[in-house]
Amino acid sequence: MIYLDNAATTMHKPQTVIDAVTQAMCSLGNAGRGATSGALDAARTIHGCRAKLARLLGCSRADHVCFTPNSTAALNTAINGVVRPGDRVVTTVLEHNSVLRPLNRLATEQGVTVEHAGCDANGALDYDELERLVTPGTRAVVVTHASNVTGNAVDIARVAALAHAAGALVIVDASQSAGTAHIDMQAMGLDVVCFTGHKGLMGPQGTGGLAVAEGVDVAPWAMGGTGVHSFDALQPMEWPTRLEAGTLNGHGIAGLSAGLDFIEAQGGVEAIATHERALADRFFAGVREIPEIKLYGAFDQSARSAIVSLNVGNIDSAEISDALVQGWGIATRPGAHCAPLMHCALGTERQGVVRFSFGYFNTAEEVDMAIEALRDLSCD
C-alpha cells in the first residue's frame, strides 16, 4: 500500500519507536507510584520525554509539558482550563472539531461568546478580520498552526502579537505541525501549544500533550489520582501534576521519546519539513494541469503543511478515494476531516475533498504513482 494519509497518523513508524514501546511494555512500572525499579524507570522515561519536547517546542520549563492521550484531550484541557463563564474567545474557520466543539459547549453551557475569523477563497486566514475580532477583554485566541484540510499555515507569531496587544492569551493547535514545522514558544510568544504524538512526532497513538508558558494559569480540568498529595481534596496545583490526573501512558511516551530522537537524528524538524514539502510540491506540480482536478489551498505560501487536497470534477470525494485504494493501493482521506467550517468556507460541504498528505517515509516514486492514478481517473 502507498500510504498518503499522514495527516491522520504517520502509520509507518521508525523501528526504534516500535522497539522502545516493546521494551517499555516489558520493563516499566507506573511513574510516581512507589519506588520500585519499574516505577522509577517509568518516571525517568517520562521526564526525559518532557525535556525533549520542551526543547523542541521552545518551552522554558520541562515540567510545564503535560501529557494527555492526544491533542483533542490537550485542547479540551487548555480551553476549559483558561476560559471562564461569560468570557469572550476568538477562533477561526480553519479549526478542527477538537477546538470547535469545546468552544460550542462553553457557549451553550457557560455563556461564552465565540467569534470566528474567516478566510479567503484559498482557505488562508484573514488576519485583518482576526485583528478586528480580538478586542480588549478577549480572554483567548485559539488557532491552528496548519489546517488539516488544506495544509495552509498560520503565522502564529503574528497571531500571538495581536492577541497579546488586546490582553488575550493564545492557544495553538499544533496537531499538524509539531515535528514538521518550527515552533519556538518563547520567541513566538505562545502561551499554550497543544500537540499529538502520533503524527509528525513519529510516536504511537495514545500520546499527546500541552506545553504551557511560565506564568500562564491553566486550571485543572480532569481530577484524580496523582501518586502524590493523596490527602488533598482537589487536584494538586504543582506542575505538571495539575494537568495529569491518572496513570500516564508510559509505554507510549517511551515510543514518543524515541520518535523525538529519530527526528533529531535526521537533522531536526527543518530537514523533515524540507523532505515532506518537496514531495507535496512534486505532487502539486504533477496534478495541477490534469483536467477536472480542482485544488484547495494557498500553494504560494513559503511554509505550509505537506497536504494537497483536491476533487475530480463533481465526483464525490469518497468515490475517488475508494477508487485510488482499490485500483492502485493508494490510501488517502476523503470527506469533511472533522473541520466543518473550513468546508463551508471552501464550498465543499457535500462533496468533501480528497486529502493527500505526505510523510517522511514517502518517496518520489510513490508521488508519481499517485499523479498517474489521478490522471487515469480524470479520463474515465
pLDDT, tens digit, 9 for 90 and up, residues 99-147: 999 999 999 999 999 999 999 999 999 999 999 999 999 999 999 999 9
Average pLDDT for residues 160-180, to the nearest whole number? 98
Closest CA to 301 of 183, 154, 110: 154
Instruction: Put residue 195 in one of left, alpha, beta given phi > 0 → left and psi -120 to 50 → alpha.
Output: beta
pLDDT value for 166: 98
Sign of CA dihedral 157, 163, 168, 172: negative
pLDDT in tens, 196-207: 999 999 999 999
> Is residue 34's pLDDT more than 90?
no
C-alpha cell at 84: 471562564
Question: What is the torsion angle, in degrees rounded to the nearest 10, for the CA atoms of residue 288, residue 295, residue 351 and residue 331?
Answer: 70
Query: Per CATH, is 15-265 categorized as 3.40.50.1470?
Result: no
Mean pLDDT rounded to a whole number for the chain: 97
Query: Contact 144/123 with Cβ under 8 angstroms?
Result: no
Predicted pLDDT of residue 65: 98
pLDDT higher than threshold 90 for residue 38: no
Q: Which fold has domain 2-10+269-379?
A: Aspartate Aminotransferase, domain 1 (3.90.1150)
pLDDT of residue 149: 98
pLDDT digits (tens, 9 = 90+) for 327-359: 999 999 999 999 999 999 999 999 999 999 999
pLDDT in tens, 223-266: 999 888 989 999 999 999 999 999 999 999 999 999 999 999 99
- Residue 151 predicted with pLDDT over 70: yes
Nearest to 283 by CA among 299, 270, 303, 302: 299
With CA atoms as reference, report the closest residue to 42 among 210, 257, 221, 259.
257
Burial class for 114, CB neighbours closer than 10 Å (0-12, 13-18, 19+): middle
What secondary structure letter does DSSP report for 56?
H
- According to the model, what pLDDT value does residue 40 have? 86
Grid coordinates belonging to 23: 521494551
CA 356-261-147 angle, 5° bins = 30
Counting residues of the chain whose pLDDT is more than 90, the rounded percentage is 93
- Position 33 pLDDT exceeds 90: no
- Which pTM does this prediction carry? 0.97
Categorize the per-residue pLDDT at 39 as very low, low, confident or very high, splitting at 50, 70 and 90: confident
Domain ranges of the chain: 2-10+269-379, 15-265
Which pLDDT score, from 0 to 100, does residue 380 have? 66
**Quick one: cell of 373?**
492514478
The span from the CA of 79 to the CA of 366, in Å, is 39
